[in-house]
A = this chain, B = another copy of it.
Amino acid sequence: MDKRPIGIFDSGLGGLTCVREIMKIMPGEDVIYFGDTGRVPYGTRSREMIIKYVEQDIRFLESFDIKAIIIACGTASSAALPWIAEGKTAKIMGVVEPAAKMAVKATRNKKIGVLGTSATVKYGKYVENIKSLCPDAEIIQKACPMFVPIVENGYTESPVAEIIAKEYLSEVKAAGVDTLILGCTHYPLLRKVIGDIMGEGVTLIDSGAAAANCAHEFLKAEGLLKGEGEACEKGRYRYFVSDEVEDFSQLGGVFLERPIDESVQKIDIEKY
């Protein structure tokens, strides 16, 4: 039993889809979330810059006594996790490996699609991870740079989401994938429009939820869970951001599918 919180970070709000899953499957765990809202988006940045940001995000989370860190961001997991320095005090997990595992488990025809930011597609870490588990898988990647602004500006139900999604999905749909990784933690908010276009036969893999499940397995196996079952007290959540607190509190509720009642604090991430 380990009462220390789990640290989670993302370039902004997307990682809250991972927190939502943690609330569901590990309701007793305490969480410290950092959303780098002052420097969002990461998906269009260079690798050098993403690594610098991720190192700072990790240093911030390590300023607390935490037991594990989840990089709940497809871009950061793809562009930085394989390159960040060893010797961190907490176990660090990304979203790529868990989502790749889940996709390989789900596919029947071995045709897997990957949606992600420009950086995520560029570094091809989903492809690499899928290939290592299933060398004969056929993988089709697609960069979806408009999805994050669509989600962050509340256009998930708009015809705009449909037009852009149809365009982005045309190749993966034509390729006949039966499994599609939502490789950026913002994308589960577009699950309905993506699901409608892809059709019922296609399994959508939520990378944030996959990471939460993977973290659950790890913590359980290592005996690091705070506790399980009904006797366990409800987890506590603390949120930190690098820009306006108000924006995060408002929009964050959409990602969590429940209001953010807890305190949200602004920090200067450049100091870490």
Determine if A46 is an interface residue (Cβ-Cβ < 8 Å).
yes
Flag A142-186 by CB within 8 Å of B: 1 or 0 each.
Answer: 000110011001010011100110000000000000000000000
Q: For the complex, what is the distance from the CA of A270 to the CA of B269, rounded to whole Å? A: 13
Q: What is the interface of chain A mostly: helix, strand, loop, or mixed?
A: loop
Q: Is A57 an interface residue (CB 8 A)?
A: no
Hey, which chain B residues are within 8 Å of A150, CB to CB?
146
Contact, CB under 8 Å: B158 / A243: no
Closest chain-B Cβ to A177's Cβ sits at a distance in Å of: 24
Contact: A163 with B153, CB < 8 Å? Answer: no
Given A39-B39, A160-B164; A49-B146 close (CB under 8 Å): no
A244:B46 contact, CB within 8 angstroms: yes
Q: Is A105 an interface residue (CB 8 A)?
A: no
Assess the B160–A153 pair: CB atoms within 8 A. no
Contact of A163 among B46, B158, B244 (CB under 8 A): B158
Interface residues of A (CB under 8 A from B): 38-39, 44-46, 49, 145-146, 149-150, 153, 155, 158-160, 163-164, 243-244, 247, 270
In-complex Cβ contact of A146 among B153, B159, B244, B270 (8 A): B153
**Nearest CB of chain B from residue A106's CB, rounded to whole Å:** 30
CB distance from A149 to the nearest CB of B (A): 4
Contact of A153 among B45, B145, B155 (CB under 8 A): B145
A159 to chain B: which residues have CB within 8 Å?
163
CB–CB A49/B38 < 8 A: yes
Q: A160-B164, A163-B159, A164-B160 are in contact. Are A45 and B243 (CB under 8 A)?
A: yes
Known contacts: A145-B153, A149-B146. The answer to whether A49 contacts B243 by CB under 8 A is yes
A270 to chain B: which residues have CB within 8 Å?
A: 270
